[in-house]
Structure 1
Amino acid sequence: MKIAITGATGQLGRLVINKLKEKIPTDNMIALSRSVEKAKGLEVEVREFDYEKPAMLKPALKGVDTLLLISASEIGKRFSQHKHIIEAAKSAGIKWIVYTSLLRTDNTSLDIGAEHKVTEKLLKESGIPFTILRNGWYTENYTSSVPGAIRGGALMGCAGNGKISGAARADYADAAAAVLTGKNHQGKIYELAGDNFFTLSDLAAEISRQTGKNIPYKNLSEKDYTSALKNFGVPEEFAKVIAGWDTAASKNDLFDDSHQLSRLTGNATTPLSVSVANAIKG
C-alpha cells in the first residue's frame, strides 16, 4: 500500500513521515512537495506536487492508494487548492483520503473554518472513502510567543479566560500516522485536541515558573492587540488574523475535552510545561 503525504516538507508533514517510518517500510511512502530539493532529506520517494499547477497533480498520484491531505498553508487559497487535489485524487483512483481539518469545523467562529468546511463537503461529495482529522490548535502557535514575552516582560493577547486545548504538532502527527496505518477509520471524523486545556494566564504563569521571572498575562481588546502586533513588526492583515484567532479562543472555540487524540495514539498529549520548556530552549 502506497501512502502519499502532501506538504511533506512542512512542519507537520515531516513529523508524520518520521512517525510513519516507525510503522511501515519507507518504500510505501511518497513525499509530495513543491520543492523536490527540500524533500530529499526525508529519505523517501519524492514527487513534485504544486497545488497551483493542476495538470501535474494526477501524474504525481500514480500508484498511490492512500493520500494524506495536509491542509494547505496559504489562507484564502485553500478552497481552490484542495479542490484541485481532490479532483486529481479521484481521477488517479485514490482509494482513501485522510484530511487534516480544523477542530469543531461545523460551528467554529475561526475565520479559517470556512475553507475547511467547504473542503470537508468536497470530500464527502467526491465518492472517495475519507477520514477527517479535525486538528485543534498547535500549542506551538502560542509558545512561539514565549521568547518575546520573556524579553518584553509580559505575554499579550485578547483571548481572555478562553480555554485552549492545545497539543504539540508531534501529537497530531502521531494521530495521523496511527490512522494511516490502522483499521476501521474510513468514514470517521475525529475531533482532536490536547488532554488538558490552558488559558493564556496559565501560559504566562508557566513561563514565570520556568524562568523565575514575573511574566504576567496582559489581556487587551482585539483592536489593541492588533496594534501591538503591528508594533512588533507583524504585517497589518496578519495581525488582524492573529487577533481574530485569540477572540475565537476567548469563546472557547479551541476547547475540546473528548480525548480522541490521546485515544488514537495511545499516549497522553504533550504537557504545556514541556512545550514551554522547548520554547525557552529554542
Structure 2
Amino acid sequence: MITVTSAAGGVGRLLVRQLTAQNVPVRAVVKNEAQAATTRQDGATEVVIGDLRSPKTLDAALTGASVLYHAAPTQIIDERPIVEHLIAAVPANGVQHIVFHSVIHPDLHQLTHHHQKDVAEGLLCESGIPTTVLRPSHYMQNYLEVWEFLQAGVMPYPVSPDSVMGVVDVADVAEAAASILIDPTPHTGRTYDLSTVELTRHEMAEIWSRVLGHPVTAVRIPPSSLTNSLNMLPAVASVVGHAVRSTKLHSFRHLISGAQAASNPRDMKNWPADARRAYRTMMTHYDGHGLPAGDLTTLPALLGREPTSYEEFARRSTAELERTRNDSDR
C-alpha cells in the first residue's frame, strides 16, 4: 500500500491515477468528503479524511502502508510538527520509505514556504528513515488560473513578465514520483530537482499566442493585490486595453469570467492570514528576482524521455479545456 497525502491536489490526483493504472493500491489522504469522492473516482483504494496537522489523521494514513508520498498544502505554514510526527510514527507502522515533496531552492529562507521545506528536509535526513526528496519548480499549470484571460488575449499574474521562472509540468512530476514510489530503494538518500525550462512570462505569452491563434500579452499584477484587491485597480486598464486590441468584442465575456475566477484564486480567502501573507511575500520575491530552474538534466533521466515542453503543455491543456467546455455545453 502506498499512501499519498494531499491526494486531491494537482500532483496528488495525477499520482493516484498513475499508481492505479499500474495496479498499485493507493490510500489517499484528503480534507473533506467532496475530495474523497474525487479521489475515489481517480482510483484510490482507501481514503482517509482529515487534517494533516492532526496526529490522528497521520496515524490513519500510515497504518499498513509501505511507502509514503508526503506533500503539504501551501496554506500550511508550519510543517515541522507534521514531519516530526511522521518521523516518530513511521517505524511503528511499517513504512519503509518516504518520498517528500519539497520545492526548488529550499535555501531561500526569506520565503516561509521554502524555509519550511528546508527544515523538513533536514529533519528527514537526520531521522535515518529511507527518504527521497523531490524539488519541483514552479508549475506550468499555475498559469491556467488565468485561462479565461488567456482566451481574451492577456496573461495577468502577480510576477513581472521579465522575471525568469523555472517551470515544470505537473504531469511529469507525477510520472517521476510514481516511478520512484513503485521502486524506491535505488532512490534512497537522493534529492532530485524537477525542472524543465526557464522562461519569462513574455516568452510564455508568445507560446500561448501561437497556440490560441491570437496575440497574448503578459501583464504584471501587483503582488500586494493578493491580500488587498484594491491594489489591482491600476492594472485593470492595461488588462482591458490589451484584451480589446487582441480579441475585440469577444474579449468581454472572457474578461468577466476571468475576473470572477480571480476574485478568490486558489481559495486564498479561506486561508489563514499568515498563509496569505507568506504567499504574497513569495510572489513579491519572484516578481523581483524570478525563480531559476534547478538541474535541468535530472528530470529527463528520471522520465527516460525529454520532459514536456511549455508549448506541448499549452497545446494539451487547450485541447483538454476546450473538450471540457464542449461537454458542459451539451
For residues 250 and 96 of structure 1, what CA distance do their matches in structure 2 show? Answer: 38
- Name the aligned partner's letter for residue 233 of structure 1: S
Q: CA deviation at 1:41?
A: 2.1
Aligned residues: 278
Contact 2:165–2:290, Cα closer than 8 Å, also in 1: yes
Report the equivalent of 1:186.
188
- Name the aligned partner's letter for residue 84 of structure 2: K
Report the equivalent of 2:11.
12
Aligned residue for 1:165, secondary structure, equals strand
Q: CA deviation at 1:185?
A: 0.3
Change (3 A) 1:184 1:249: farther
Contact 2:97–2:130, Cα closer than 8 Å, also in 1: yes
Q: CA deviation at 1:279?
A: 4.5
* Counterpart check, 1:31 vs 2:32: no
For residues 143 and 3 of structure 2, what CA distance do their matches in structure 1 show? Answer: 30
Contact 1:100–1:133, Cα closer than 8 Å, also in 2: yes
Q: CA deviation at 1:114?
A: 1.4
- Name the aligned partner's letter for residue 152 of structure 2: R
Change (3 A) 1:3 1:224: closer
Q: CA deviation at 1:273?
A: 1.5
Q: CA deviation at 1:208?
A: 2.1
For residues 263 and 162 of structure 2, what CA distance do their matches in structure 1 show? Answer: 26
* Counterpart check, 1:48 vs 2:48: yes
Deviation digits for residues 202-247 of structure 1 (CA, Å, limit 9, x no counterpart): 1111222233333222346655787228975246864883574263
Normalising by structure 1, we get a TM-score of: 0.83
CA-atom RMSD, angstroms?
Answer: 3.0
For residues 179 and 40 of structure 1, what CA distance do their matches in structure 2 show? Answer: 22
Q: CA deviation at 1:92?
A: 2.0
* Counterpart check, 1:233 vs 2:263: yes
For residues 75 and 138 of structure 1, what CA distance do their matches in structure 2 show? Answer: 19
Change (3 A) 1:190 1:212: same
* Counterpart check, 1:210 vs 2:240: no
Deviation digits for residues 169-205 of structure 1 (CA, Å, limit 9, x no counterpart): 11100110111123410011111111x2211001111
Change (3 A) 1:153 1:192: closer
Contact 1:146–1:207, Cα closer than 8 Å, also in 2: no
Q: CA deviation at 1:49?
A: 4.9
- Name the aligned partner's letter for residue 191 of structure 1: D
- Name the aligned partner's letter for residue 228 of structure 1: M
Change (3 A) 1:239 1:14: same
Unaligned runs of 5+ in 1: none
Q: CA deviation at 1:257?
A: 4.2
* Counterpart check, 1:271 vs 2:309: yes
Normalising by structure 2, we get a TM-score of: 0.72
**Residue of structure 1 aligned with 2:296, choices 258, 262, 265:** 258
